[in-house]
Structure 1
Amino acid sequence: MGYTAADTAQKHERILDQSIRLFRERGFAAVSVNEVMKTAGLTHGPFYNHFESKEALMAESLTREFQRATGDFDKLPATEKGVAKYVDYYLSKQHRDDFAGGCLVAALSSEVRQQEQVRAPFTEQLKGLIQKLATRFPWRSRRSARGDAIHLYSTIVGAVILARAVNDDKFSQEILDEVRSRVG
């Protein structure tokens, strides 16, 4: 029985959805191709019909997830309240605790540096996210918008990384609260 192009595309999307979830949750090295395929409800065999390698899967899943995250800015008002709403969510306990569904940058940045094949797509997509953040929301001035966007994003990502790393929930929440009060 043959599969239609729509069936193949749907399987491809399932593989991407499951892989990014697993990668965010456990990291690139801890997730096997076999596990990705099994989680997507498929056998290992067809993997290479979709991707050249695990690294190609990593690059495509990162790119796709970055594009989703960047597109999510369009759901927020292009105002100071819009960026404040984004910061409030990003620095929330809910987001901090959502390893599998949270920010891929906070989850995978330290691993990207060790994966040469994903560094270029990661860099390109991060530049796009920063550009969208800089142009979507109001900043002190148009000349400082890119720098302000880099500063904001780097600060909140760093806060989530640290808040996830510590084993003291009260201190973790303090990190999120202090950063929120200073960037918000």
Structure 2
Amino acid sequence: MKVSKTQAAENRAGIVDAAARLYREKGLSGVGVAEITRDAGLTHGGLYRHFASKDALAREACLRAFEWTITPLDGLEQDGNASATAKLQAMVDSYLSVNHRDHPGEGCPAAALATDAARAGPEMSEVFAQGVERNIQRFMRVLEGEPAEKRAQTMVMLSSMIGALVLARATAAGNPALSAEILRTLRERLVPGAQDVDGLPE
């Protein structure tokens, strides 16, 4: 039975969404085609009607993953009354939260896939770079100051948050107290006076 163009587009989008989540959860090499198509509710062979290869899917899924954003950012960008410090604090608190640490499939692809992307060759590296640049530009919009200074501040902030999240995830099972301490310390140091969130222990 022939699939309509609308249904085909929905199937393709479902595959990309499933891959974007599963890759962030398990890594680029930790997920097979069968698992991705099963998660999308399709058959194994259906994937290759939409993508030339698994690598092509991985690149598109990576771009889709970068559509993720720090939860408070959407509202904060439109809030003319919120100060730059308040916006920054909300973003840092959300990013360095227990919820984000414990749900990589729904979170930042930079923290979940950076090492994989570095090993996946120049095409994936280019896609990843596009996503990182998109995040930098979006983050800069909530800061004040000259463009060059905002860009530098953004790079310091994003790199610090990503590194902290990676370490917090890596230590969560073996030493939960250390994991929580990493998140809490970075929240406090990146934005002076940041309030503790998500019930992390002091």
Do the structures match in fold with TM over 0.5? Answer: yes
Are the aligned partners of 1:22 and 1:100 in contact in 2 as well (CA < 8 Å)?
yes
| Residues 85 and 72 of structure 1, relative CA distance in 2, 3 Å threshold | closer
2:135 equivalent to 1:129: yes
How many Å separate the matches in 2 of 1:183 and 1:148?
11
Deviation at 1:82, TM superposition (A): 2.1
> Secondary structure of the residue that 1:138 maps to in structure 2?
coil
> In the comparison of the two structures, how many residue pairs are matched?
183
CA contact (8 A) 1:162 1:172 kept: yes
Q: Residue 119 of structure 1 aligns to a residue in which SS? A: helix
Q: After superposition, where does 1:137-148 map in structure 2 within 5 Å? A: 137-148=142-153
Quote the Cα distance in structure 2 between the aligned partners of 1:48 and 1:82. 43
Paired amino acid for 1:119: S
In the alignment, the residues of structure 1 paired with residue 43 and residue 153 of structure 2 have an alpha-carbon distance, to the nearest angstrom, of 46
Distance 1:137 1:20 in 2: 26
SS of residue paired to 1:67:
coil
Matches of 2:109 and 2:175 in 1, distance apart?
A: 23
Matching residue's letter, 1:55: D
**Aligned residue among 80, 91, 96 for 2:96:** 91
Is 2:47 aligned against 1:47? Answer: yes
Shift of 1:72: 7.6
Partner of 2:200: none
Confirm or deny that 1:31 pairs with 2:40. no
Alignment-derived partner of residue 160 in structure 1: 165
TM-score by length of 1: 0.92
Rounded Cα–Cα distance in structure 2 between residues aligned with 1:60 and 1:67: 11
Q: Distance in 1 between matches of 2:93 and 2:47?
A: 39
Q: Distance in 2 between matches of 1:70 and 1:102?
A: 8
Cα drift, residue 98 of structure 1: 0.7
Q: Quote the offset at 1:70 in angstroms.
A: 8.1
Structure 1 Cα separation of the partners of residues 97 and 13 of structure 2: 28
1:62 CA drift (Å): 0.9
Q: Is structure 2 residue 178 aligned with structure 1 residue 171? A: yes
- In structure 1, distance between residues paired with 2:187 and 2:48: 44
Unaligned runs of 5+ in 2: 192-202
Cα separation, 2, equivalents of 1:110 and 1:16:
20
Deviation (angstroms), 1:160: 0.3
